[in-house]
Amino acid sequence: MPNVRLALAQTNPTVGAIQANLAQILEQVVLAKQVGADILVFGEMALTGYPIEDLASRESFILEAELAVKALASKVVELGYEDLAVVIGHPAMANVQEQTGWAIAKNCASVIRGGEVIGTYAKHHLPNYSVFDEYRNFVPGNELLTFEHKGLKFSTVICEDIWQEGGPVSKLADAKTDVALILNGSPFEIDKDDKRLSLVKNLVQRQDCAAAYVNLVGGQDDLVFDGDSIVIDSKGRLIARAKQFKSDLVFIDIAAKDDMAVVGEHHLTKPNDNWQAWNALVLGLRDYIQKNGFKSVVLGLSGGIDSAVCATIAADAIGPENVFGVSMPSRYSSTGSKDDAEDLASRRGINYRIQAIENLVSPFESALDLTGLPAENLQARVRGVILMALSNKEGHLTLTTGNKSELAVGYSTIYGDSVGGYAPLKDVEKSLVWELAKWRNDYARSRNEVEPIPVSSIEKPPSAELRPDQVDQDSLPPYDVLDAILESYINQRKSRADLVLLGFDQAIIEKVLTLVDRAEWKRRQGAIGPKITGMAFGRDRRLPITNKYKG
């Protein structure tokens, strides 16, 4: 009876940093071997990072990745690990006659052993919906790769291959696979983890094999890979679950496809949805900052809930000493707001300064004779100029604090409060901002830490404070109604007629949908931010700006 030690390496690669990712992979090889691994599996495109987008159509990039795979094969043997099998995700050139459109490459998993690449699998099902453009970037493969190692049969497939019917994954049983090795670059969405688990369970039952599902971890632009790699035996039992939102290396001893055991202490459950959403936001921001060479962030602190939550996410991501908050009160800012901003900063020890805008705003007002909405936008734009000046002068990444509900209806000033390179709350609707704020305070309390978010920021009515006594609900329906309409219109793609049937008020429907459509040009110019739902603004939802459809 075989006893094979399988290791799952859940790494956090950086897109394009092939040599740095290779070094990271080799570190994992050494660590895995120290714990006696016989076979070590990485995630999809662990060598290049994922998604590589149109880098896939640059020949020099694909060739460098292919060379790095060969270098890895040599290195493993040089380290003395002749009998270690390593399965690594990477792009490779497609045959010339297979190339279509702009796609010159395949999305591959190679098996390395004894200094050689003993086989390469090419992903068959190329997702081309939601945030994915794989038909644009890759040529599909069509053959299962099965190999024997230490008495067990392993087969490799990649991510979407298990989300669709047919293709190589349907041949796992015929190939007498003991363990399917599934390489993934599967971005986080609230609740998606359970979908993955049930998909893999379904697969092992259909194909009568065990499965090791290895995901990437880390932020890449608007995507957050959450890790949460899993191992399931051929009876459908969950054997192991890697950490979520952290790099991890998990070991499994395999006697047979239905006789597997995790090595060491281990948890099979994971925390609640709010914990997950929060950690996705923190990881997305941290990796954007670090992978793009920033050390600190600057953001406006209005005393409101959005900037309070953004600042807290930032403090969790890179430490409060690297977060620079700026209060920019105007003649319309209430004392309460100014106090709340200062309170927020002091609770975590965030850097804090005050820059009043009156003396910067009034010269514009007189020069251009501005009143009403143009004057409101002016205030927001003067604040934008201040934040960008501080960013330019001090080297901070600017965060923009708008939430998904605001972005949906365009309740923001373009080039004003929207300035910044990253939008932590881009995919967090207002209702969830409140929920997460309360959750984060509860979490602090449960750990005997100071609650980071002032209660009055959570409880007071939201206001842009751009004119006297303004509150958001002067211009918008209550956020619970707004968020419910947005969920139907944006996420569910419902029509006006559908929304009427759902019981929403016709005038409110018309108002909200018109605002959403009109704000498309602003969203197009907005900062990226981490996707945490099934339908995020950005590449997940691609609509024309010029669009007269009113259905």
- Choosing from 5, 70, 133, 275, the residue that interacts with a second copy (CB under 8 A) is 133
Q: Residue 240's CB: how many other CB atoms inside 10 A?
A: 23
Q: Which positions ≥6 away from 265 have C-beta within 8 Å?
A: none
Q: Which of residues 112-131 bind a second copy (CB under 8 A)?
A: 127-130
Which listed range, 196-204, 239-247, 297-305, 356-364, lies at the site for a second copy (CB under 8 A)?
356-364
Measuring CA to CA, how many Å separate 304 from each of 15, 352, 418, 430, 519?
35, 15, 15, 12, 23
Q: Are 47 and 18 in contact (CB under 8 A)?
A: yes
The least CB distance from residue 136 to a second copy, in Å, is 5
- Choosing from 292, 346, 475, 506, the residue that interacts with a second copy (CB under 8 A) is 292
- Choosing from 377, 405, 441, 463, the residue that interacts with a second copy (CB under 8 A) is 377
Which listed range, 74-82, 142-150, 370-378, 500-508, lies at the site for a second copy (CB under 8 A)?
370-378
Structure tokens at 123: 């992903």
Q: Are 444 and 333 in contact (CB under 8 A)?
A: no
Number of residues that bind a second copy (CB under 8 A): 82
Q: Which positions ≥6 away from 204 have C-beta within 8 Å?
A: 180, 210, 211, 232, 233, 234, 235, 236
Q: Which positions ≥6 away from 285 have C-beta within 8 Å?
A: 219, 313, 314, 317, 318, 399, 422, 424, 530
Count of positions (residues) in the chain:
551
Q: Which of residues 463-522 bind a second copy (CB under 8 A)?
A: 493-495, 497-498, 521
| 382: contact with a second copy by CB under 8 A | yes
Q: Which of residues 150-179 bind a second copy (CB under 8 A)?
A: none
- Choosing from 27, 36, 59, 202, the residue that interacts with a second copy (CB under 8 A) is 59
- Specify the residue, 375 or 481, whose C-beta has the smaller distance to a second copy: 375
Under the phi-then-psi rule, with left for phi > 0, alpha for psi from -120 to 50, and beta for the rest, what region is 220?
beta
Exposure string of 351-366, with b = 16+ CB inside 10 Å and e = fewer, is: ebeebebeebbeebee
**Shortest CA distance to 352 belongs to which of 323, 378, 372?**
323
Q: Which of residues 77-96 bind a second copy (CB under 8 A)?
A: none
| 97: contact with a second copy by CB under 8 A | no
- Specify the residue, 199 or 388, whose C-beta has the smaller distance to a second copy: 388
- Specify the residue, 263 or 370, whose C-beta has the smaller distance to a second copy: 370
Which amino acids are annotated catalytic? 44, 123, 159
| 392: contact with a second copy by CB under 8 A | yes
- Choosing from 167, 227, 384, 454, the residue that interacts with a second copy (CB under 8 A) is 384
> Residue 262: how many CA atoms within 13 Å on its side-chain side?
19
Q: Which of residues 197-226 bind a second copy (CB under 8 A)?
A: 219-221
| 71: contact with a second copy by CB under 8 A | no
- Choosing from 26, 93, 262, 360, the residue that interacts with a second copy (CB under 8 A) is 360
The least CB distance from residue 290 to a second copy, in Å, is 10
- Choosing from 373, 500, 501, 502, the residue that interacts with a second copy (CB under 8 A) is 373
The least CB distance from residue 340 to a second copy, in Å, is 23
CA 480 to CA 125: how far, in whole Å?
A: 39
CA 132 to CA 539: how far, in whole Å?
A: 8
